[in-house]
Structure 1
Amino acid sequence: MQAPNSTSGIQASYDVAIIGAGPSGSIAASLLHQQGKRVIVIEKQDFPRFSIGESLLPACMRVIEEANMLEAVNKAGFQFKNGAAFSSKGKYTNFDFTDKFSSGPGTTFQVERASFDKLLADTAESQGVEIRFGESVQAIDLSQEPILTIRNREGEDYCIQAKYLLDASGFGRVLPRLLDLEKPSCLPSRTAVFTHIEDNIDPRVQENVHFDRQKILISVHPENKDIWYWLIPLSDSRCSLGVVAEPHLLGDAEADLQTVLMDMVKQEPNLHRLLANAKVVRECSLLKGYSANVTTLATDKFALLGNAGEFLDPVFSSGVTIAMQSASMAAKCVVRQLNGEKLDWDSEYAKPLMRGVDTFRTYVEAWYDGRFQEIIFFEAPDNKIKQMICSILAGYAWDETNPFVSDSERRLNMIVELCR
C-alpha cells in the first residue's frame, strides 16, 4: 500500500527515516546521527516491551562500541556470557568464545530484551536521536523521495519525507508487507514455545549436569534431533526457557502453552532434573513460522535491516548479531549516498550482508539434518578447527579469513567426514 503521490501536507523532512527502535534501529540511528544526519525513528510500541533473542553474541559488542553505547551496556548489570554449551543424551560440550580464530571481543551478555532494547533506545535519544514511540507506519510512497504516512497515538495520520528509509521493524516486517517483498524461506516451518522462569536450580544438580550460568545451554531431545531447547540464564536468578520443533512434534495442540512447554522439558532428562524446582513467571508465548525471506534487501531508496529482511532460526542466537551488523553496514552506505556517491546497493550492502547470513544458514541447516550435531559432540575435536567454528558461533560470520566462513559448506562437510 502506498501513500498518496503528493508532497502537500508533509509535516517534516529528514535525511533518514527508520522504522523500529529495536537494536538495529537504535544502532543505525546512532551511527547516522554521529555523521551529522538528521534521523527520525518511528516505533509502534512503547518501551520496555518483551522480545526474544536474549543471548547476544560477542560480535555484537563491536557494533555496540561503534555506536558509543558500550559503556551504558557494560554498566547495566546484564548476565555475563562467555560461550555456548550443548547437551545431548548425556553428552556435554561447550565452546569458550575467548578461544576463537577471529579477532574481536570474546564475551558478551545475556539480556532481558525489554530492558536491553530500552537501554539502546534511551542511549540513542540521549545522543540526540529523535524517536517517536506509539506511532506506526501506514503507507509508503517511493515514487520520489520516500514519503511515510504515520498514524499517531490519537489515530491521526500525518506524512514525513526522508531522503532514505531503513526498515528495522523486526518480525513486524513493515516494508516487506507494504511493498509486497515477502518470499518463502528455504527453511522448514518451525514453532517456538517459550517463557521466563525462576530457575531455583539446586547447586548439587547444577554440578552434575554441567550447567554454567555464563553460557547459553542448548539441549537436544533424546529421541528426536529436530527438537531442541534453549536455557538462557539471566541476571536475576531467572532464565529464558524455550523449545523449538516442527509444529506436529509439540504434542497436544489443544493443551495450553505452559503444559506443552513443561511436558517437552520432562522428555529431556538432564533439563528436567535441572529445572525440577523451576517456577514459570511469565505467560508462555508462541512464535510459529518465524523463518522469513524477501525478494529485495535494498535499493537506492530503502534497505531492510535484521529480521525485516531475513530471519533464519534461533538455534545459534544469530538474530541480534545479524540485526546489528546490518545496521552498521547499511549506515555506512547511507552516509556515502547522502554525501553524493552513487551506490550499487546490491553489491555494496545486500551481498556483503548475505555472506555472513549464508554462513549462519549453513550451520542452521547442518544442525537440523544432524551433520553439525555430529561435529559438536565429536569426542576428540581438533583444537584449531574448533576455534574456527567457535568464531562463527561467536558471531564472526563475516570474517572471510576464517576458512569455515569463506568456504562454509565444503569445509563443514569435510569435518563431518573426518568425524565419521
Structure 2
Amino acid sequence: MSADDTVDVAVIGGGPAGSTAAAVLAQRGVKVRLFERDTFPRFHIGESLIPETYWVFKRLNMLDKMKQSAFTKKYSVQFVNAQGKMSAPFYFHDNKPHECSQTWQVVRSQFDAMMLDNAREHGVDVRQPARVLEVLFEGDRAVGVKVQKDGGTEEVRARVVVDASGQSTMLQNRFKLRQWDPVLNKGAIWTYWKGAYRDAGRDEGATVVIQTPNKMGWWWYIPQHDDTISVGVVGPFDYLFKGRGSHEQVYQEEMDACPEITRRLSTGTRSAGYYATKDYSYRSSKVAGDGWVLIGDAFGFLDPLYSSGVLLALKSGELAADAIADALAAGDTSEAQLGRWGETFNKGVDRMRRLVCEYYDGFSFGKFVKTYPHLKNKVTDLLIGDLFDDHVDEVWEPLETLYAEDKKPIPKWSEGAPPDADHKVNELYLPANPMR
C-alpha cells in the first residue's frame, strides 16, 4: 500500500465540524485527509452564530477572516411573546465586555467554504468532490474508508476515521445509535426575503425570536448582508406537516396569523422558494468507538431556537480533535480514549436543550429576569453558548420556582426512543423553484 493510501486520520465531510476537526489535527502535526462529496459553495441552513464560537475561531486562525467578511454583525438576541410584546434586547457585550461578544449572521454557503479553505491552509489534504462509500472495519475497529474515484473505488487506510458526514450520519446509521428526542419533535418551513424591515444601530443584526400568537411555535428572523432576511416558522411536526397543504400554504397561513411577522415583511419581497425540514432533534448514544468518532450533525442536532448548531459543530470538532491527537500520540485509539470528550460535550448540550425545552413549555425571559434580575447575566451566558461551565447551573433552581404546580419534569434526552427505534430519517425538502 502506497503512502498516498495511508493517513493518520480520515475525515468524512467538510462542513464546520469536519473542517474544524481537520484543522485542529493539522495544527497538532497529524496527517489528515478530508473527503467532501459536494462542490462548494452549496446551500445549508443555520445562518446565525452565537458568541462562544469566537474561541474556536481564534484557535483556527479564522477571526481575521470573519472580521474582514461582509457578514452582518450580531450583538444581541430579542424575544417577542405571543401578544406581540418585545423583551429588552439581550446584549452580549453588556454581559461580557470583550470582543468575543460580537458575532455574525452568516450565509452558510460562503461561511462553510471559508472554513474548508482554512483547513486547506493549515495543511489538510482536502479531496473534493469525493464521496465516501463506506467506512472499512477489521472486526469492531475502523481502519479506513472506501472512496468513489473515477468510476471505480479506492481504499484509504487511517488510524482514526472521523464521521462528520452531517445528517446522513454514516456510522450512526450503521450501528443504529440514533436516539430521537422525546420532547423536541419539531419541524420548520422557511424562505428568504429582500427589503424587509431591519432594526437600526447595533440592533440591525439581532436575531429576533417571535412566538406565534397561538403559542404553537415560533418564528426566526435573521438579518443577513446583501439586504436578505432569513425568516422561518418552527412548530410541532404534526401541527406543521399533517393535513395542512403545501409548505407555501402553511407558511402563508402562519404569517397571516402573526402581526409582528406581517409588519416586518410588509416592505419585503420573497427572494427564494420554500424550504422545509422535519424530525430534526436526535443524538447518538455514544460519540466514539474503536478507531472512529462522531462529530457535528453526524453525532446529533438539537434545535434551531438559540442558534446553537454551528457552535456545537465547532466545539465537537475541537474537542474530538484534541482527543484524537492525544490518542495517536499515546498509541491508544480505543473507544475510551477517543470518546473521553463525550461526557463534557453532552453536559453542555443538555444545558442548551433544557433552555430550549423550557421555552417550548412556556418559559418567559421577561418574567424570569424581572423576578431574578441578578441572574440575567447567567441566562445571557447560556444564550451566548457558555455551556461547558457549571456556573450557569445557578439558573435552574430559581427557574423552577416559576413552574405551575402541575408542571411535569422535562424528560431527559436519554428517555427518548431507543437507538434502534423505527423512525423517519431527517429530511430536508428543497424548493422546486429556488429563486435563489
Residue 361 (structure 1) aligns with: 353
Residue 100 (structure 2) aligns with: 105
Give the Cα–Cα distance (whole angstroms) in 1 for the partners of residues 126 and 96 of structure 2: 38
Residue 124 of structure 1: CA displacement?
Answer: 1.5
Structure 1: unaligned runs, 5 residues or longer = 1-7
Give the Cα–Cα distance (whole angstroms) in 2 for the partners of residues 187 and 251 of structure 1: 17
Give the Cα–Cα distance (whole angstroms) in 2 for the partners of residues 362 and 62 of structure 1: 23
Matched, 1:37 2:30: yes
Residue 5 (structure 1) aligns with: none
Give the Cα–Cα distance (whole angstroms) in 1 for the partners of residues 321 and 181 of structure 2: 26
Q: What SS does the corresponding residue of 2:95 show, helix, strand or coil?
A: coil
> What count of residue pairs does the alignment treat as equivalent?
400
User: How far does the alpha carbon of each residue in 1:288-314 deviate from its partner, in whole angstroms, 9 at most, with x for none?
Assistant: 001112222112411111211121111
Structure 2: unaligned runs, 5 residues or longer = 408-436
Residue 260 (structure 2) aligns with: 270
Residue 425 (structure 2) aligns with: none
Residue 403 of structure 1: CA displacement?
Answer: 3.3
Matched, 1:156 2:152: yes
How do 1:65-80 residues align onto structure 2 when only pairs under 5 Å count? 65-80=58-73
Letter in 2 for 1:63: V
Give the Cα–Cα distance (whole angstroms) in 1 for the partners of residues 99 and 330 of structure 2: 32
Matched, 1:124 2:119: yes
Residue 416 of structure 1: CA displacement?
Answer: 5.1
Maintained 8 Å contact 2:187/2:236: yes
Matched, 1:174 2:174: no
Maintained 8 Å contact 2:143/2:158: yes
Residue 137 of structure 1: CA displacement?
Answer: 1.6
Residue 316 of structure 1: CA displacement?
Answer: 0.7
Matched, 1:348 2:351: no
Residue 320 (structure 2) aligns with: 330
User: How far does the alpha carbon of each residue in 1:234-289 deviate from its partner, in whole angstroms, 9 at most, with x for none?
Assistant: 01111111101113323784633233223211211111111112212122111000
Give the Cα–Cα distance (whole angstroms) in 2 for the partners of residues 353 and 346 of structure 1: 13
User: How far does the alpha carbon of each residue in 1:110-133 deviate from its partner, in whole angstroms, 9 at most, with x for none?
Assistant: 001000001111122123211112
How do 1:21-420 residues align onto structure 2 when only pairs under 5 Å count? 21-88=14-81, 89-93=83-87, 94-100=89-95, 105-143=100-138, 144=141, 146-152=143-149, 154-201=150-197, 212-224=203-215, 226-250=216-240, 253=243, 255-340=245-330, 342=332, 344-345=336-337, 348-370=340-362, 372=363, 374-378=364-368, 380-404=370-394, 409-414=396-401
Pair 1:101–1:73, CA change in 2 (3 A):
closer
The farther-off stretch of 179-188 and 107-116 is: 179-188
Give the Cα–Cα distance (whole angstroms) in 1 for the partners of residues 109 and 99 of structure 2: 26
Residue 219 of structure 1: CA displacement?
Answer: 0.3
Give the Cα–Cα distance (whole angstroms) in 2 for the partners of residues 46 and 280 of structure 1: 27
The farther-off stretch of 229-238 and 170-179 is: 170-179
**TM-score relative to the length of structure 2:** 0.85
Residue 138 of structure 1: CA displacement?
Answer: 1.3
Letter in 1 for 2:341: Y
Give the Cα–Cα distance (whole angstroms) in 2 for the partners of residues 33 and 329 of structure 1: 14
Give the Cα–Cα distance (whole angstroms) in 2 for the partners of residues 56 and 98 of structure 1: 15
How do 1:8-27 residues align onto structure 2 when only pairs under 5 Å count? 12-27=5-20
Q: What SS does the corresponding residue of 1:49 show, helix, strand or coil?
A: coil
Percent of pairs with identical residues = 28
Residue 414 of structure 1: CA displacement?
Answer: 3.7
Maintained 8 Å contact 2:327/2:338: no
Maintained 8 Å contact 2:205/2:224: no
Give the Cα–Cα distance (whole angstroms) in 2 for the partners of residues 256 and 162 of structure 1: 46
Residue 384 of structure 1: CA displacement?
Answer: 2.8
Maintained 8 Å contact 1:31/1:331: yes
